[in-house]
Amino acid sequence: MTKKKRREKIKKASDKLVKWIGSPNSLIFHTAFFVIMIFLAFSDMGFDKMMLVLTTVVSLEAIYLSIFIQMTVNKHSEELEEVSEDIDEIQEDVEEIEKDVDEIQKDVDEIQEDVEDIQGEEEIGQEVVNLKSNRILLNKIEENLGRLIEEVLEIKKQSKEKKVAKTNNKFKRTPKQQYSLRK
């Protein structure tokens, strides 16, 4: 067996013993042990001899219990260090996630601005469509107005020609009328 395997075996055995010492079975065992020792004190063994054995056993047990307690404390310290390292890693992860959330928030803000710009562009596009429609209507109005102006000019021209013709008719005289006017 290698040293590592032996240490592992000893560690497992000590863990089992520590668990047993903290169990109700251990309490029953120790109570029975002390009752037996008290019974022996009143028997033929003698009180002094029984007290010597009892104090020796209790002292050895106290030494082993303190060793087991220290082993348990060391084990819990190692576990706490591991938990502390895990907490540090989780804290770093949380900080990274917070940075990512901040970046995502910035991206969302930029997207919102882009959406607003697009909506503005859509409104501008609608205004362009409206302007084109208005321009088409304006061109039709200009064409109609141009036709109306031409018609008005034509009517004026015809009216003027009629006036000139009337005036000429008034002044048109027969040669006899012209001769009589000269005298």
pLDDT, mean of residues 109-123: 83
pLDDT in tens, 32-69: 887 887 777 677 777 787 788 778 888 888 887 887 78
Q: In which element (H, E) is residue 172 found?
A: none
pTM (global) more than 0.85: no
| CB-CB contact of 52 with 46 (8 Å) | no
pLDDT, mean of residues 100-114: 89
3-state secondary structure of 18: helix
CA distance 88 to 86: 5
Q: How much is the mean pLDDT over the chain?
A: 81
pLDDT at 107 over 60: yes
pLDDT in tens, 7-28: 888 888 877 877 777 778 887 8
